[in-house]
Structure 1
Amino acid sequence: MPAHLTGNDREYAFPWTRSPRENWQKRDFCRSLFSMNAQTLSTAVAHSREMDRLAVSELGTMQALQTEKVRIFAMATGRRALTYFRAVVSLVESNLYEPAGAVLRVLLELVLVLHVVNDSPEQLDVLAKQSLGENRKALKGLKTVSLDSRPEWLTDDSIEKVLSELTMEQSGFNAHYWADKSGNMETYNTMYRRLNAFSHASLVALDAYLPVNAKAEIIGVRGDVGRESGPQFLVSASSILLGILQIAAGEDIDPIRREKFTAMAAEQVSLQEQIALESDSLTVSPLS
Structure 2
Amino acid sequence: MTGKLYLVGTPIGNLEDMTFRAVNTLKTVDLIAAEDTRHTGKLLQHYEITTSQISYHDHNRKHREAELIKNLKQGKNVALVTDAGMPAISDPGYDLVKACLEANISVIPIPGVTASITALAVSGLPTNRFIFEGFLPVKGKAREERLNVLKSETRTIILYESPHKLKQTLQNLGQYLGKDRLLMLGRELTKRYEEFLHLSLKEAISFYEKQEPKGEYTIVISGKEKDESLNLTSEELKTELRELLAQGVTRSQASRQLAKISSLSRQEIYQLSMELDEP
Q: Indicate whether the TM-score tops 0.5.
A: no
Q: TM-score range by the shorter chain?
A: under 0.3
Q: Which has the higher contact order (CA 8 A, sep 6+)?
A: 1
Q: Normalization by structure 2: what TM-score?
A: 0.23
Larger helix proportion of the pair: 1
